[in-house]
Structure 1
Amino acid sequence: MARGTEAVIDVPALARNLQKVRDWAGDARVVAVVKADAYGHGLERCFPALGQADLLAVATLDEARAIRVLDPRIPVLLLEGVLTGDELAAVEELGLEMVVHSPEQLEWIERSGRTLAPRIWLKIDSGMHRLGFALDRAREAHARLSDLPGVHEVVLMTHLACADEPDHPMTARQIQLFDDAVEGLAGPRCIANSAALLTRHDARRDWVRAGLLLFGVSPIADRPGASLGLEPVMTLSTQLISVRHVPAGDSIGYGARYVAERDLRIGVAAIGYGDGYPRNMPDGAPVLVNGRRQRIAGRVSMDMVTIDLDGQPDAAVGDPVVLWGEGLPVEEVAGALGTIPYELACRVTRRVRYREIPYLRSAARS
């Protein structure tokens, strides 16, 4: 770890966040969404803290296989179902639950004659127009899935497009369209994702799906995770490797984007887009140096980022720098870039050393 660049994963914080989600969910069961290597946090290192979830959800078969290496029996949901009929063999072998979102998938299942998990998930398109059966095909699809051998329960689900905007009228419309389409059909309902869990009590049905919330991050722009009682699970940090004086009028970094308006002390931190810290991070974006807020000054390069050390005359080589996490919400950093925190967490590269705070039951309860 010569560069001092690391992502610390607080696994006990993940367990506490999951308990917070369970408290919000009330009587609903909780799907813990851990796709994309647990949103970039590392599935294997996070896995010990996920025992409170009723089910884990992933996007791909390879992600499901990774869970099966860790636990052969924990319930796992394949959120996008299969991409070809041939993949049904792997679904059966791994003992997965799966989402069925298209007529093609339904036909592959019917033709295969395979015995699937007793619970299957029917996705209905209530207006997002990405995946799911059309509203007027929901009843037919439900009947056909219910008739499959070995299927005992069909979960009726949909996905909300604008739940992260609490006042957006589309959310209420989607919920109503979904309710109308499935009225009278047997089976549990699943509507709420992380955003809807926070903003729509009427979307908390029999199941809720929590992803980003588990990692201490809020999907609501003006409600950071800390304000909700959540704890950051990832802290991305590095150290200063150089401190230099830049006279007024001189530029800093590639493209001479940043020009010093006054004499500056500039810190060079050992992180860049080769580590997943975005190249297009703007001047003025926040970082912490020695626990105090400072600002990016100049274009991010592959291995380094330059920081205005205004107000820290004693900052020196070796001092700690936090890019996001403990003390600096990733939501704020994402906002400075004009993106969402999901993207930042998922883009950290393999060059960064990961270190976890291990999960102990006593630590998780403290």
Structure 2
Amino acid sequence: MKPAIETDGPRALACRVCPRAGCDDVYAHATLRDFGSPREMFHALAALAAMQRVRVVSLEALGMANERGQGRALLEQAFEGVDFPVTWLDEGAASTPHLAGVVMHAVAGAAVKRLKLRGRTVGSVYDDGAATYCILRDLRPEDTSLPRGQQARIVFDDMVAALRLAGMAFADVVRTWFWNDRMLEWYDEFNAVRTAFFNEHRVFDGLLPASTGIGAHNAAGAAVVAGLMAMQPKGKAVRVSAVDSPLQCAATEYGSSFSRATEIETPAYRHLFVSGTASITPGGETMHPGDGAKQIGRTMDVVEAILASRGMAWGDVASAVCYCRHAACAAQFDRWCAARGIASFPHVAANFVVCRDDLEFEIELDASVSQ
């Protein structure tokens, strides 16, 4: 991984550059706490994209209000038009303290093709020399009056349709994201829909993607918004595999269809995708129910063990999102990192709902090392 990109002023963006075979992946993180206003934050991201001459692959706005489209309008103004997929999640927009921020993925040195479904930009496709990547975001049903399970099925079908536009299939998917509105009310129903879809598409016969399932309201009012990352290798030297969690059981043992982590390995680099991870025992039960500080410690121990199993450490993290059931949990996370002597890694915290009522904290991350 290359050093962080330097930005001017005290309100610096947290950035990482991951060198690939024929291009660079760039991950940029900005928090509303550091920039003070959405306008300033979006302009800083747009300036970075222009300065580094990168093409934005995707952008997630987390915990930010978008009343009457005003937030999206500020984003459009900053970038002088947006042709990339944007996921806008306004869960926690009224939290105190206000946890909000943006995660931007961009690429330098590669052409990017956009994918559209029903007139909306939902994907980006690019080639890094070793593989072709398809990033899909903001997949959601148009008819938000439908039952939630039916909306979820539409989203899965849209994944297949969008992948087909890229010349790919669901068998090429390495990582998925699901942001479910009022998740705790229907997570079991969602899991049943996902499992049925996976059975139909024989996903369990191949790679089970890493995944995040988190509770978050979206600006469109849909029951679920989804995203994914798919990859087609250009040769046998590129491999993708599931990675176990040394301190946890498989998520499939308690009805959730995802891998704890997945890894892409090429001759030039390895990239690890760690699923949304929380304080779960080896037997699948919640550890330290309701205790945010202890759950953070357990969760980070679990993630650290996954990183170590792949020869990685916190310094190799390229991008992370911390999901905090209560906004105060973000400060507990900062204190835990300081106590362990872990240097700050690029991340954004959001006041979202974790998938169990007694879970206070969840983290997802990407890590990358050169070979």
- Alignment TM-score, normalising by the size of structure 2: 0.29
Structure index of larger Rg: 1
Normalised by the length of structure 1, the TM-score is 0.29
Which structure is higher in strand share? 2
